[in-house]
Structure 1
């Protein structure tokens, strides 16, 4: 049934070129004017064939544009399944996230992110697959699919990371078998042996306690008041793929995400973006401009950073970029309530930004 539906548009698409071709042949062999050698006859003949050729070109162009629109619809559908939109609020956290692919023909890229509320706290993953475009989509799907299960099943964060490592290893083995020369020519630009994924795992407890595991990924920025600082400066582990995880794997404690504080997670394509003079994009400087305005909303951070990024790169990013912004709003309702009912001898508590 699928094959019948796929062939019907092809048969209809061949009707118009056949008609144009038949018209040209009929004119050439059936019209007496086409047999004459005079200047006027040659001009008419040339005009007829020019019109036929122009019609064919426009028909092919329309067919290619139709196929391109269909491919983009399929890519958007794949994105909604693999890299599904995050909810605006999750367990008291305000969230905004978006990604920008360097491949103009692809909607999805090699960046991945997800946030899930579990009984162990809100668990967040941000990652970056080697390469970009549709070639990296399979690896993104393998890592995200494993995280969505492991985030609920594993009581400890190191267990989640080990599940991601095993899922990536299985995916690479399957790709290696599929790309074996016996099954066809492999893509020389995407060798499986060089595949790797940078991964940042975060766990945000009910009281805002932050725990993290980092495999080769940039540390997020913490926005607290008007201060913009990296969450921590601890050296990350190597990316997943080339090297096995260490036997002893202890999540790093990163303090607390206080009410009103924001975390800005990003992929390395953000800070690696260059302008026409070769200067790198300074995410920290842009975030310092953002925190001057209060309150700082994740949506405003996302909008300001992407606008500055596209301006810096002249609208032509060379790598995939992804941003995920979290703001702790858990204590906001309680602060508002306390501010509305000041106790004797104490100043009213203001709600956090």
Structure 2
């Protein structure tokens, strides 16, 4: 990392870097071990003898020196690995940040399971924000998985977090996402030019992103735009089914968006109803015999217990998924569940007497 400072304030001594001291400590112990081995070899008379006892002592000395060096190197590597994981975890948590438990009267929970060991996120993306236009949710899946797809995830999520607040129509939000993805792919194409000498795992010409945009108004009305993504499941009581049967648009990337784009009306999210958004890694997960995972069956198991919450839905589904795949999914999996409990919150507030009518005109103050 390169840090640039404009200057050092007067009266304050500049802080010396601790890098030289760390380097000295890292090299000090191997130097001491090497000096011990050399001193024993050339300064100890026992090392010049050929008897069995002398050979055993010499072997023990060099074994101790070698073991010390190996342990020192191992400790240093583990320390660097822990530091790298902390940095990577912080960066990935900022990119795919945790969702708040409540958004405008909706109970929300989301989780992601990466197929790459050591990666918190992969090629799946999700976000939910409360705006003046309603609660807007995005769920997407970038081609491929793991660290190679993080750049595309960052481009799409960054665009959504801005456009969800700025654009009044859902179609305009999708247009912003499409333009942001196009800019990102153009920049990648320049970086992956043959003159750069890179051999990309996911060529730009094969890149695409499936995206589902969802808008939940204050009265529960649902609007959606689907670009090649699975429709979410709507849970109403014990009934479970797809939110819509409309044909999705092509994924973002290979094809331009149609000019007459309009959001699909998907009814209303009634009180106590739940929506479960997911990526195709959930339904494409296979067990050792090649059988696909039944997401609908896992959801049916989750709604047997009352009350149903997004947290309990995710817990039940992920437990079943890990059991089905023996803990080793072959693709990234993301789930986002939300429940409409606005009526319960209004009833709770009314019972506590915290809902007070606001006077039409401010009352004059009696304090002097």
TM-score (norm 1): 0.91
Measured after TM superposition, the shift of residue 131 of structure 1 is 2.1
Q: Structure 1 stretch 143-152 or stretch 75-84: which is displaced more?
A: 75-84
Partner of 1:59: 72
Structure 2 partner of 1:25:
38
**Residue number in structure 2 paired with 1:168:** 181
Q: What is residue 343 of structure 1 aligned with on the other side?
A: none
Which residue among 196, 201, 216 is the counterpart of 1:189? 201
Partners of 1:91 and 1:12 in 2: how far apart?
A: 54
**Alpha-carbon shift at residue 180 of structure 1 (Å):** 2.5
Distance 1:136 1:9 in 2: 35
Q: What is the match of residue 104 of structure 1? A: 117
Cα deviations across residues 202-245 of structure 1 (Å, max 9, x unaligned)? 01111111111111111110010001111112221121112221
Task: Confirm whether residue 306 of structure 1 aligns to residue 318 of structure 2.
Answer: yes
Structure 1 residue 334 displacement after superposition: 4.6
The match for 1:72 is 85
Deviates more, 1:155-164 or 1:185-194: 185-194
Q: Secondary structure at the match of 2:225?
A: strand
- Which one of the candidate residues 109, 114, 125 is aligned to 2:127? 114
Give the Å deviation of 1:191: 1.8
**2:301–2:316: 8 Å Cα contact kept in structure 1?**
no
CA distance in 2, matches of 1:10, 1:236: 57
Q: Distance in 2 between matches of 1:114 and 1:99?
A: 12
Q: Distance in 2 between matches of 1:127 and 1:49?
A: 57
Per the alignment, residue 295 of structure 1 pairs with 307
Secondary structure in structure 2 of the residue aligned to 1:237: coil
2:120 equivalent to 1:130: no
Residue 9 (structure 1) shift: 2.7
Runs of 4+ more than 4 Å apart: 1-8, 334-340
**1:40 lines up with 2:53 in the alignment:** yes
The residue matched to 1:102 in structure 2 has which SS?
coil
Which blocks of at least 5 consecutive residues in structure 2 are unaligned?
4-16, 353-368
Alignment-derived partner of residue 324 in structure 1 = 336
SS at match of 1:288: helix
Please, what is the CA RMSD of the aligned residues?
2.0
- Does residue 265 of structure 2 align to residue 253 of structure 1? yes
Asked if 1:240 is matched to 2:252, the reply is yes
Q: Secondary structure at the match of 1:127?
A: strand
SS of the residue corresponding to residue 130 of structure 2 reads strand
- The one of 136, 143, 167 equivalent to 2:156 is 143
Q: In structure 1, what is the Cα distance between the partners aligned to 2:314 and 2:170?
A: 27
Instruction: Give the Cα separation in 2 of the matches to 1:11 and 1:194.
Output: 48
Cα separation, 2, equivalents of 1:196 and 1:11: 49
Q: Secondary structure at the match of 1:296?
A: coil
Asked if structure 1 preserves the Cα contact closer than 8 Å seen for 2:233 and 2:243, the reply is yes
Where 2:168 maps in the other structure, the secondary structure is coil
Q: CA deviation at 1:153?
A: 1.0
Q: Distance in 2 between matches of 1:330 and 1:158?
A: 27
Q: Trace 1:149-160 onto structure 2 (pairs within 5 A).
A: 149-160=162-173
- Which structure's CA Rg is the greater one? 2
- CA offset at residue 92 of structure 1? 0.6
Q: CA deviation at 1:59?
A: 1.6
Deviations 1:280-320 (A, max 9, x none): 11110010111111210111001111111111111112211
Paired with 1:93 and 1:284, the residues of 2 have a C-alpha distance of: 22
How far apart, in 1, do the equivalents of 2:226 and 2:23 lie?
50
2 CA distance for matches of 1:180 and 1:26? 55
Q: What CA distance in whole angstroms lies between the structure 2 residues aligned with 1:273 and 1:237?
A: 24
Kept after mapping to 1: 8 A contact 2:286/2:324: yes
